[in-house]
Amino acid sequence: LPVPSGDKDNRLLAEKYLRRFYGFPAGLQGKQQASGVFETKIKEMQKFFKLEVTGNLDDNTLELMKLARCGVPDIGEYN
Amino acid sequence: HFPRHLKWQNNNVTFRILNYTPDLKKSDVDRAIRSALNVWSDVTPLTFKKLHKGNADIMISFGSKEHGDYNPFDGPNGLLAHAYPPGQGIGGDTHFDEDEHWTKDSSAYNLFVVAAHELGHALGMSHSTDVGALMYPIYSYTTGYPLSEDDIEGIQALYGPNPNSKKVKPRPDAPNKCDPTLSFDAATELRGETIIFKDRFYWRLHPQMPEPEQTLIKSTWPSIPNRVDAAYENPEKDRVIIFSGIRMWALNGYDLVDGYPKYIHKLGLPKTIRKIDAAVYIRDTGKTLLFTDEDYWSYDEATGTMDKGYPRSIEDDFPGMDDEVDAAVYHYGYLYFFHEHMQYEYSYNSRKVIRIMRTNSILNC
């Protein structure tokens, strides 16, 4: 089924967040690889913020991604 | 810390403010930056010298979207500022997003609070996972001394302590929910969730959230004190009452109700009562029990008056509870008293304590 646009926006927001703060690789990769890396990075972010580590873009994780914050990455490469 | 524990090799660091936000007077910006630097110099040997021209170690500026370092800001909210670890060139430089509204208070983003955090990066601190630390990545407005023990430990690991150290009172780190000696300050329901207050924080338990979520009280309710003594929910009125000292606040959902704080004595408590230890609403009777030291009171929510014949002794009326109460909640005929690191399940019907558990078993520990 086509992904509902709301979910798609949230997914893009999450990818942008993870790219900026958790070193999620830029650019498109193989579908399987992308979802694996995405889940891994979500887990890193959930662990950092002491959220429940699910690897899923659940409401709490998404809500935290929308909070005002500092632009320095939380872990990983510091650009 | 950043990789390789990047730090300034010289304790005499220079800084320069390249431009100013129109949101504040120039002198307010100067003061905010100086105060933010003093936060770190108070606990280290570092000194900060202001330059008015030329290249300083820490170059401070306000810019919006792409502002010269290929690390663009994003308009209002979202990214507030960023800074670079110590080093040559852009190292140490600190940038604030001009699309934010910068203030001296809590009405928008407080420049001092954000500057103190960013200058932590400029000195070599990376982000902390402690929700109460200044170096925690999410913005929250706080008053009082900004550094937690976690922050001080981090910066002194890089530069050592301030040889002429001023006595500072660091904020205790966020309480660990699985600490076996954990006690609670207060507990209440809130529209199906359970809120547990401890120190400057509260945990939020939701039936669909196995992991309690810890948050700073002030990041949700800036005007409520850093410490809550007691709290209860009256679901009929959709109100949560929060007590701190001799004052009380009312919430509707997470929103503060106008007209508060009020004095607790409005409930009919004598002036000699200066603090409520615990409060719980008993749905079956429509009464709210207020616990103070060894006694408790009964407040009739329907009439808004204190019942006659109180205070009564906790020990007499709740056999098995022979000590003070830190917090209390009521579920389906059972009162849960929390005292220090134990919780007591008291059956209203059989009028006795039927189970004793650890206080933090409610936090899945």
ipTM of the complex model: 0.88
In chain B, the residue whose alpha carbon lies closest to the alpha carbon of A65 is B78
Pairing of strands B255-256, B247-252: antiparallel
Cβ pair A78:B71 closer than 8 A? no
Residues of chain B contacting residue A52, judged by C-beta atoms under 8 Å apart = 209-211
The C-alpha of A68 sits at a distance from chain B's nearest C-alpha, in angstroms, of: 4
In chain A, the residue whose alpha carbon lies closest to the alpha carbon of B70 is A79
**A51 has a chain B CB within 8 A of its CB:** yes
**B209 has a chain A CB within 8 A of its CB:** yes
The C-alpha of B159 sits at a distance from chain A's nearest C-alpha, in angstroms, of: 21
Asked whether the beta carbons of B343 and B187 are under 8 A apart, the reply is: no
Cβ pair B109:A68 closer than 8 A? yes
The C-alpha of B215 sits at a distance from chain A's nearest C-alpha, in angstroms, of: 11
If one counts every other C-beta atom within 10 angstroms of the C-beta of residue B76, the result is 14
Cβ pair B80:A68 closer than 8 A? yes
Type of residue at B312: R
The C-alpha of A33 sits at a distance from chain B's nearest C-alpha, in angstroms, of: 27
If one counts every other C-beta atom within 10 angstroms of the C-beta of residue A40, the result is 14
Cβ pair B211:A70 closer than 8 A? no
By Cβ distance, the residue of A49, A50, A72 closest to B83 is A72
If one counts every other C-beta atom within 10 angstroms of the C-beta of residue B204, the result is 17
By Cβ distance, the residue of B80, B129, B211 closest to A48 is B129
Residues of B marked as catalytic: 118
If one counts every other C-beta atom within 10 angstroms of the C-beta of residue B118, the result is 27
Quick one: what percent of chain A has pLDDT higher than 90?
51
In B, residues 49-78, which contact A (CB 8 Å cutoff)?
A: 71, 73, 77-78
In chain B, the residue whose alpha carbon lies closest to the alpha carbon of A47 is B129
Asked whether the beta carbons of B144 and B172 are under 8 A apart, the reply is: no
Per-residue pLDDT tens, chain B, 365 aa: give them. 998 899 999 999 999 999 999 999 999 999 999 999 999 999 999 999 999 999 999 999 999 999 999 999 999 999 999 999 999 999 999 999 999 999 999 889 999 999 999 999 999 999 999 999 999 999 998 888 899 999 999 999 999 999 887 677 787 888 999 999 999 999 999 999 999 999 999 999 987 777 898 999 988 898 899 899 999 999 999 999 999 999 999 999 999 999 999 999 999 999 999 999 999 999 889 999 999 999 999 999 999 999 999 999 999 999 989 889 999 999 888 999 999 999 999 998 899 999 999 999 999 88
**A76 has a chain B CB within 8 A of its CB:** no
Q: Round to whole Å and give the CA distance between B36 and B20.
A: 16
Quickly count helices (H) and strands (E) in chain B. 5, 25
Residues of chain B contacting residue A69, judged by C-beta atoms under 8 Å apart = 78-80, 137-139
